[in-house]
Amino acid sequence: MAIERWTRIAAPQGDERVALTVEVQHGQRIHAVTAAAALAGARPGMPLTDARALDPGLTAIPADLAGDAALVRRLARWASRWSPAVEIDGADGLRIDATGAAHLFGGEERLLADIVDRFAAMGLTTRVAIAPTALAAWALARFGGKPAIVAPKTRTAAMLAPLPVVALGLPDDVTRVLERLGLKTIGCLAGIERRSLARRFREADNPLDAIDRALGRKAEPITPLVHQSPPRAVLRLAEPVADPSAAPQSLDLLLPDLVRQLEKRRLGVRRLVLAGYRVDGEVAVALAACALPTREPKHLKRLLIDKAGSLDPGFGFDGFVLEAEWCEPLGAMQDGLAGGPPPEIEVARLVDRLSTKLGPDAVTRPQSCASHLPERASGWRRALDKETPSQARPITALRPQRLLDRPEAIDVIYATPAGLPRRFVWRRGVHDVLRAEGPERIAPEWWRERSTARLRDYYRVEDGQGRRYWIYREGLHGDGRGGDPVWYLHGLFG
Amino acid sequence: MAAGGGPARPPGAPGRWRLGQSPPVPDGAGEPLALPGAGVATLSELFAGNIRDGGWTGFLLPQLPTAKPWLWVQERMAILESGRLYPPGLRTGADQLIHVAARDAREALWTMEEGLRCTSIGAVIGEIYGDPQALDFTATRRLAVAAERHGVAAFLIRLGGHANLSGARLRWRVASAASLANMLNAKAPGPSAWEAELFRARGHRPARWTVSHEPGAGAQAGFRLVAAVGDRALDEDRRTARG
């Protein structure tokens, strides 16, 4: 499959001898080869150097394993056209539970032919088999050589008998032991007493277990890949309702339904949308978001009820849809011993309520960032979002309790240009500097800013009334980055 | 109680301060001061001496509980006039805080009340600029009742406002005072000190103190009285003479 995907993407001219390689512990190993390269002696699993010795003209290209896996995932979803239960098997296989689905395609032969044709149309070669058990189908598809159908269940053992023991999907060392014992085919194993096989191998990779699974004596369920639509609850009204209180009232009917779906799927809501469908073809939408996944109906109702009340009904609503747009897994929760939810959930609910009412950007939490610039070192993130981990070290230097969003320019009188400030004017108020400490020099971040960015010398100053400020001088005299240095007031100390 | 007063003045019983009588000023520098109302979940109102004075932040921070996150509400004008909160300058535990930038006083008051109803919040702090219409006796009384009912301390900060009718249980006026001597650098500002005036309180006597807080001391224990600015040199002389 990997080489077919490569062929489709790269579209080589003629028969090129190409090998896709993966990096392993001892150099490069061949992952897949083109037909021409295979003729010249290259085989998957071979070290690249060995293949080069056989065929010096072999072109090696790194394999795109992630891209291949993505293609398999896409194909698995696409394969649900044949049956809803499709499972990805290894790097290049699909297992389809076609029980009771074959007759829709005109029987099992037609189904197999349909699968082969449709994959061939995409440029992919397939090996297919239908069998009563998943393992038997796997063995026949991979090692049977031709499309196979095991029609009556009783023929399974007979059809598997000529296949090599590798077809049981056992670990390599077990397979090797079996081959050394002379048990080359699955049929050979069937002739041996069960007790002696059970004694020889560990339970987990016992050939007996594999045979039992292949013959259907032991269950092997498949876990299908299912695309699930988000939980939603629908309310259709017999007649349009123009009363603005209809939307809040609809929540009482919609929420229990939605919460039941969420409980069943063990999900919690992160973003909830109430859509009111109007008779004039408009849709009015109310939105609420949550910091932690939740499915508590009381909390969800409280989040949405104000916004639902302000939806414009126009000529009337004739339907409401409540959809959990964004869900996250949420197991069953236990309340605290004292009753009521645990503290972090309570705080998260408060954040939800505030964010819904004031807007998500107004409610924030501190977020540190690895930087020396004060305004960058500590920023704010939306309280609804999760904290992004940062490598910032905690700041140990004295910092003000309050920082102006934008440093304000001040007029400063100083004794010497590089010395301590003596007096400054901020917002038309004169402040005599009685005590000062500094400078704390913070250099510009040259990797982020322009070359004209100037360094800052921060001073901690106290005026005649005891007010403490954080001021800085941007630049130095004669640093070649602009004229005279400018002074700014940046923070207030408590 | 009303001031860890010096030995010169007998400890006064909590009483009501009569009009025309100036608030008593206790002496005794360095004495620990049990701040009235500290650790009690109620509404305190803090008037900043000046909009350009951030001193009240330092006075307030030691009074906030450490274990739970704080809800800190700043009105838009408060952010513009006296700066946005800066977490690295706050003490440890501040990384848990929730900051709300409210558009106006009405929103800020709503947010404060919503925060007070959540018992997992340690303290609710709201900064209001000026004398907005929404901030009347009813609004403050609602906050006080919510704080007491749910056991969450509330602090209403008034920046550039007037002390009109209010339901707050304690009303403070806090301004920066000249900082203490810096041990390492005589020219540098030292540990912060504040001029704190309790001008109206239920169950406490109005008083005025100049206090500082020992860094690292517990939430309510670390406040100490400081000699008035004029006496400071004398105080130092006295101390050296004593030592």
Per residue in B11-20, pLDDT (tens digit) is 333 444 454 4
Q: How far is A276 from chain B (nearest CA, A)?
A: 27
In the predicted structure, residue A224 carries a pLDDT above the cut 80: no
What's the rounded mean pLDDT across residues A137-164? 84
Give the confidence band of A124 by pLDDT, cuts at 50, 70, 90. confident
In the predicted structure, residue B21 carries a pLDDT above the cut 60: no
Q: What pLDDT, on the 0 to 100 scale, is given for residue B6?
A: 38
Q: What pLDDT, on the 0 to 100 scale, is given for residue A178?
A: 86
Closest CA to A469 of B155, B162, B179: B179
Which residues, in sequence order, are bridge partners of residue B125? Answer: B72, B155
Q: Which domain holds residue B192?
A: 43-242
Tokens representing B200?
């109206």
In the predicted structure, residue B155 carries a pLDDT above the cut 90: yes
In angstroms, the Cα distances linking A30 to A17, A43, A47, A391, B179 are: 13, 7, 6, 40, 74
Low-confidence winner among A78-92, B108-122, B171-185, B222-236 (lowest mean pLDDT): B222-236
User: Nearest residue of B to residue A383 by CA position?
Assistant: B98
In the predicted structure, residue A431 carries a pLDDT above the cut 90: yes
Which residues, in sequence order, are bridge partners of residue A426? Answer: A429
In chain B, the number of structural domains is: 1
Q: How far is A350 from chain B (nearest CA, A)?
A: 7
Query: Which of A358, A435, A492 shows the shortest C-beta gap to B189?
Result: A435
Residue B153 lies in a domain: yes
In the predicted structure, residue B2 carries a pLDDT above the cut 50: no
Residue percentage of chain A with pLDDT more than 90: 32
Q: What pLDDT, on the 0 to 100 scale, is given for residue A3?
A: 81
Q: How many CB atoms lie within 10 A of CB B37?
A: 21
Q: What residues contact B102, with CB distance under 8 A and at least 6 apart?
A: A358, A362, B73, B74, B75, B76, B108, B111
Name, of A78-82, A354-358, B146-150, B160-164, the range with top average pLDDT.
B146-150
A175/A169 Cα distance (integer angstroms): 9
In angstroms, the Cα distances linking A166 to A134, A210, A484 are: 16, 11, 81
Q: What residues contact A140, with CB distance under 8 A and at least 6 apart?
A: A129, A131, A148, A150, A159, A160, A163, A167
Query: Which of A354, A362, A468 shows the shortest C-beta gap to B192?
Result: A468
CA A190 vs. chain centroid, Å, equals: 46
Q: How far is B44 from chain A (nearest CA, A)?
A: 18
What's the rounded mean pLDDT across residues A232-255? 92
A270 touching B (Cβ < 8 Å):
no
In the predicted structure, residue B25 carries a pLDDT above the cut 50: no
In the predicted structure, residue A152 carries a pLDDT above the cut 60: yes
Q: What pLDDT, on the 0 to 100 scale, is given for residue A404?
A: 95
Q: What pLDDT, on the 0 to 100 scale, is given for residue B10?
A: 38
Residue B172 lies in a domain: yes
A455 touching B (Cβ < 8 Å):
no
Q: CATH number for the domain including B86?
A: 3.40.50.300
In the predicted structure, residue A204 carries a pLDDT above the cut 80: no
Query: Which of B95, B118, B185 shows the shortest C-beta gap to A437?
Result: B185
Q: What pLDDT, on the 0 to 100 scale, is given for residue B4?
A: 40
Question: Are A141 and A127 in contact, with CB atoms under 8 Å apart?
Answer: yes
Q: What pLDDT, on the 0 to 100 scale, is given for residue A438?
A: 84
Which residues, in sequence order, are bridge partners of residue B225? Answer: B211
In the predicted structure, residue B93 carries a pLDDT above the cut 80: no
Residue percentage of chain A with pLDDT more than 70: 98
Which has more confidence, A247 or A6? A247
In the predicted structure, residue B241 carries a pLDDT above the cut 60: no
* Mean pLDDT computed over every residue of chain B: 82
> Which residues in B170-207 are b (16+ Cβ under 10 Å) and which e?
bbbbbbbbbbbeeeeeeebbbbbbbbbbbbbbeebbbb
The CATH classification number of A2-63 equals 3.40.1170.60
Low-confidence winner among A111-115, A144-148, B228-232 (lowest mean pLDDT): B228-232
CB pairs under 8 A between A and B: 173
> Roughly what angle, to the nearest 10 degrees, separates helices A297-309 and A343-358?
10
Q: Which long-range contacts (CB under 8 A, 24 or more apart) does A379-388 make?
A: A380/B99, A382/A355, A383/A291, A383/A351, A383/A354, A383/A355, A383/B98, A384/A289, A384/A290, A384/A291, A384/A351, A384/A352, A384/A355, A384/A360
In angstroms, the Cα distances linking B146 to A219, B15, B47, B116 are: 61, 26, 21, 6
Please state which CATH class domain A232-355 belongs to: alpha beta
What's the rounded mean pLDDT across residues B215-232? 67
Which residues, in sequence order, are bridge partners of residue A468? Answer: A462, A493
Q: How far is A380 from chain B (nearest CA, A)?
A: 9
Residue B177 lies in a domain: yes
In this structure, what is the dihedral angle of CA atoms A203, A206, A209, A215, given to the nearest 10 degrees? 180
B51/A411 Cα distance (integer angstroms): 19
On chain B, the residues whose CB falls within 8 A of the CB of A357 are 110
In the predicted structure, residue B240 carries a pLDDT above the cut 60: no
Q: Is the dihedral of CA A379, A384, A390, A396 positive or negative?
A: positive
User: Can you give the residue ranges of every domain in chain A?
Assistant: 2-63, 99-215, 232-355, 363-396, 402-493
In the predicted structure, residue A396 carries a pLDDT above the cut 90: no
In the predicted structure, residue A337 carries a pLDDT above the cut 80: no
Residue B30 lies in a domain: no
Model pTM above 0.80: no
B25/A116 Cα distance (integer angstroms): 96
Per the listing, tokens 């790269």 go with A10
A11/A18 Cα distance (integer angstroms): 12
Cβ <8 Å between A492 and B60: no
Cβ <8 Å between B86 and A402: yes
Half-sphere exposure of A358 (CA within 13 A, CB side): 32
What's the rounded mean pLDDT across residues A92-96? 88
Q: What residues contact B100, with CB distance under 8 A and at least 6 apart?
A: A354, A358, A362, A363, A364, B71, B72, B73, B74, B108, B111
Query: Which of B60, B86, B176 shows the shortest C-beta gap to A491?
Result: B86
Q: How many CB atoms lie within 10 A of CB A72?
A: 19
* Mean pLDDT computed over every residue of chain A: 87
Which residues, in sequence order, are bridge partners of residue B72? Answer: B99, B125
B56 touching A (Cβ < 8 Å):
yes
Q: Which residues 117-176 of chain B have a CB within 8 Å of chain A?
A: 118-121, 175-176
Q: What pLDDT, on the 0 to 100 scale, is given for residue A2?
A: 79
In the predicted structure, residue A126 carries a pLDDT above the cut 50: yes
B44/B37 Cα distance (integer angstroms): 8
Query: Cα-atom radius of gyration of chain B, to the nearest Å?
Result: 18
Q: How far is A232 from chain B (nearest CA, A)?
A: 29
Residue percentage of chain B with pLDDT more than 70: 78
In the predicted structure, residue B214 carries a pLDDT above the cut 90: no
Low-confidence winner among A89-98, A142-151, A262-271 (lowest mean pLDDT): A142-151
Cβ <8 Å between A404 and B83: yes
What's the rounded mean pLDDT across residues A21-48? 88
Which has more confidence, A347 or A202? A347
Low-confidence winner among A175-179, A361-365, A416-420, B232-236 (lowest mean pLDDT): B232-236
> Which residues in B126-136 are b (16+ Cβ under 10 Å) and which e?
bbbbbebeebe
pLDDT tens digits for range A359-376: 999 999 998 888 889 999
In the predicted structure, residue B8 carries a pLDDT above the cut 70: no
What's the rounded mean pLDDT across residues A10-32? 85
